[in-house]
Amino acid sequence: MTEKLRLFFTRLSLQTALLIILGATIFLYWYWLQQGAKDEGYPIYRVAVLWVLVLSFCLWLGNLFIYRFIQRAYSWESSFSSRFFLQLVLTLFFSLGCINLTYVLFKNAFTQLPPDQNQLILLNIYGTLFLVPVLSVQFGLLFLRKWKMAIIEQEKLKKEQVQSELFALRSHLSPHFLFNNLNILSALIEVENQPAQDYLDRFAQVYRYVLKNREIELISLSEELRFLESYNFLLQQRFSKALQIDIQVAPSYKEYLLPPLSLQMLIENALKHNKLSEKKPLQIKITTEDQDRLSVENNLQTKTLPPQEKTGFGLENIRRRYWLIARQEIDWTCTTAAFRVGLPLIKHS
Is residue 222 pLDDT above 90, yes or no? yes
Q: What is the pLDDT of residue 167?
A: 54
User: How wide is the angle at C-alpha 330 spanned by C-alphas 325 and 334, nearest 5°?
Assistant: 160
Looking only at the bridges linking them, the beta strands covering 282-289 and 243-248 are parallel
Per-residue pLDDT at 8 exceeds 50? no
pLDDT band at 1 (very low <50, low <70, confident <90, very high): very low
What are the angstrom distances between the C-alpha of 296 and each of 61, 262, 293? 44, 10, 10
Which domains does the chain carry?
10-149 (no CATH), 213-344 (3.30.565.10)
**Residue 340: enclosing H or E segment and its boundaries?**
strand 338-344
Report DSSP letters for 247-262, one per residue. Answer: EE--GGGTT-EE-TTH
Highest mean pLDDT, choosing among 196-200, 215-219, 224-228: 224-228
What is the average pLDDT score of the chain?
77
Provide mean pLDDT across the span 99-119. Answer: 78
Q: For the chain, how far is it from start to end, CA to CA, in angstroms?
A: 50
Quote the pLDDT of residue 114: 73
Contact 320, 156 (CB under 8 A): yes
Percent above pLDDT 90 for the chain: 17
Beta-carbon neighbour count of residue 76 at 10 Å?
18
pLDDT, one tens digit per residue, over 312-335 is 667 888 888 888 788 889 999 999
How does pLDDT run across 11-42, given as a tens digit for each residue? 456 777 777 888 888 888 888 877 766 656 66
Cβ-based neighbour number of residue 123 at 10 Å:
16
